[in-house]
């Protein structure tokens, strides 16, 4: 499949202006993903350390044919992952998904998954701004690349 041209089906939420792109990635790819997002003006994001199970299951972190990691019993079924939550305007979802996918991709089992969720509203606590004004960030993707969302 071609990451550069893939697009998300947002048609289930025709009136939704904002979406949360939730990406579960390999922890050691985080810096690369953040750097690529920053280069495109995506400055707002939240990162968490999580553990998960997928096709990779409890197998140790695998890349380039080698396996490494701790093998204690409690971690047998769970693999350390990093979750990124990136809220963006509707028209920026495809760009963000493509940037994250390209930067997180190795082609080996365990690259991760991306979930796209609708977001009803956004409130900037400092200013009490809401909606599109709260979603915009100075020097953000819209300012930098002209890719508007709403
Ligand atoms: P202010 O102008 O008041 O600083 P801001 O919009 O820049 O507001 P912050 O207060 O810097 O927002 O954001 C606080 C935290 O909220 C960030 O550290 C980040 O975890 C999270 N966050 C902000 N924007 C986003 C976003 N678009 N997507 C995901 N998380 C975000
Ligand atoms: N959509 C915002 C903008 O264009 C950026 C959002 C983000 O950084 N998560 O300004």
Closest to 89 measured CA to CA, from 126, 41, 125: 41
Q: What is the mean pLDDT of residues 45-54?
A: 96
Q: What is the mean pLDDT of residues 96-108?
A: 98
Q: 104 or 57: which carries more pLDDT confidence? A: 104
Query: How does pLDDT run across 56-84, given as a tens digit for each residue?
Result: 665 566 566 555 555 555 556 899 999 99
**What residue's CA is closest to ligand 2, atom 2?**
136
Query: What is the layout of strands, in order, in the sheet containing 46-52?
Result: 46-52, 79-89, 18-25, 112-119
Tell me what pLDDT residue 148 has.
Answer: 73
Q: Which residues line ligand 1 (CB under 6 A)?
A: 44-46, 85-87, 124, 126, 137
Tell me what pLDDT residue 132 has.
Answer: 97
Cα(114) to centroid of ligand 1, in Å?
A: 20
Nearest atom within ligand 1 for CA of residue 134: 6
């Amino acid at each position: 499949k071609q990451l550069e041209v893939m697009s998300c089906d947002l048609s289930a939420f025709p009136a939704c202006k904002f979406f949360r792109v939730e990406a579960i990635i390999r922890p050691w790819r985080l810096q690369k993903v953040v750097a690529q997002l920053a280069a495109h003006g995506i400055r707002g994001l939240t990162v968490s350390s999580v553990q998960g199970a997928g096709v990779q299951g409890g197998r140790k972190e695998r890349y380039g044919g080698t396996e490494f990691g701790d093998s204690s019993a409690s971690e047998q079924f769970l693999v350390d992952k990093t979750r990124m939550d990136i809220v963006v305007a509707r028209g920026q979802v495809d760009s963000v998904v493509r940037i994250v996918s390209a930067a997180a991709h190795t082609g080996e089992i365990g690259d991760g998954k991306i979930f796209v969720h609708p977001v009803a509203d956004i409130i900037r606590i400092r200013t009490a701004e809401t909606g599109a004004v709260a979603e915009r960030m100075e020097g953000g993707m819209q300012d930098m690349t002209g890719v508007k969302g709403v």
